[in-house]
Amino acid sequence: MNKAPKVAIVGATGAVGVEILSCLETRNFPLSSLKLLASARSAGKQVAFRGEMITVEELTENSFNDVDIALFSAGGGISLKYAPIAAAAGCVVVDNSSAFRQDPDVPLVVPEINPEAAFNHPRNIIANPNCTTIITLMALFPLHEQFGLKTVIASSYQAVSGSGQQGIAELESQVRSIVDGHPVEKKVYAHQIAFNLIPQIDAFTDTGYTKEELKMLNEGRKILSLPELKVTCTCVRVPVYRSHSISVTAQFEKPISVEEAQKAFDGKPGVELMDDPANIVWPTPLDSTNGDTCYVGRMRKDLAIDNALTLWVVGDQVRKGAALNAVQIAELLISR
């Protein structure tokens, strides 16, 4: 694109849409116009952007006739209906849902890992990966480049904001009820989330794994171009407001030491070591909340698997896991 694009945000009033707006502003994204699209219920709301107020418009089939880039964050059903319409109108869609991630004609992009994939989008749609996949691969890619990733064993500890604002509200409500001695109400989750862990995110498949757990396998293979990559994962909902954490054991093709692994992160954008256990330094969800960096710590040689390291990574799933990654993809598009 040789001029500042006209940009639209679909789902502009949702949690990720609001973060996309923030990223566009703080990163000084060059655009000639901005259209905010949402449901009829949100249409008419006023949203501040760069010192001006923008009126939210209702999403319709005619919303994309004058748009160059559309950032979708309104859920899979909306994406399946409206993304092809936007693409047919000549707009490049960056979609945050899972609707197109496994489509062979839709690239799945993490700009720090496979930026070149963004420029081959025959359907005019680019998919944003799952948040947990992005955060995990931000930690593993610098190691993969030097040592060759072979197998991943992961357990994720995912914040309630991954369920949207309603997840946060349920955690707050349950904590308040417990403190006040009142019965706990469960609406969002099948089990109490306050002071508890829930080892299920998304629906179970016939493999015994949930859909969320299989995303790490399928999306990791596609992003890294490693069709034989082996991944097993357990995803757990935890009573944390924001930022996901993942415990990872990764096996590599080549021998690897902790010292070599730490050097692999030197100069890598978007990921930073926070790894000094002797001084009680390692990352927690609060360290990454509202930030753009993924942090890696607790790095150590695995005691059970050859050529393997075990590590801990945290990242804000609303920003790098969704909004920021989408905006970075858009930045790639305008860089051409």
Residue 131 known to be catalytic:
yes
Question: Which of 23, 235, 244, 294 is labelled catalytic?
Answer: 244
Answer for the pair 133, 214: CB distance below 8 angstroms, yes or no.
Answer: no
Q: How many CB atoms lie within 10 A of CB 122?
A: 10
Longest alpha-carbon distance in the chain: 62
Taking the C-alpha atoms of residue 107 and residue 76, their distance in angstroms, rounded to an integer, is: 16
Judge contact between 63 and 35, C-beta under 8 A.
Answer: yes
Cα–chain center distance at 113:
14
Q: Which SS3 state, helix, strand or coil, does residue 300 take?
A: strand
Q: Is the torsion defined by CA of 289, 115, 126, 133 positive or negative?
A: negative
Determine the Cα–Cα distance for residues 40 and 279; give it in Å rounded to an integer: 53
Gap between the Cα atoms of 43 and 39, Å rounded: 6
* Packing angle of the helix pair 131-147, 211-224 (nearest 10 deg): 40
Residues 6+ apart with CB under 8 A from 4: 30, 31, 32, 334
Q: What is the DSSP letter of 101?
A: T
* Residue 40, helix vs strand vs coil: coil
Q: Which residue has the tokens 């092809």?
A: 84
Residue 244 is a catalytic residue: yes
Place of tokens 């930073």: 272
User: What region, left, alpha or beta, does residue 280 occupy, with left being phi > 0 and alpha being psi -120 to 50 degrees?
Assistant: left
| Catalytic residue (one of 131, 233, 235, 294) | 131
Residues identified as active-site: 131, 244
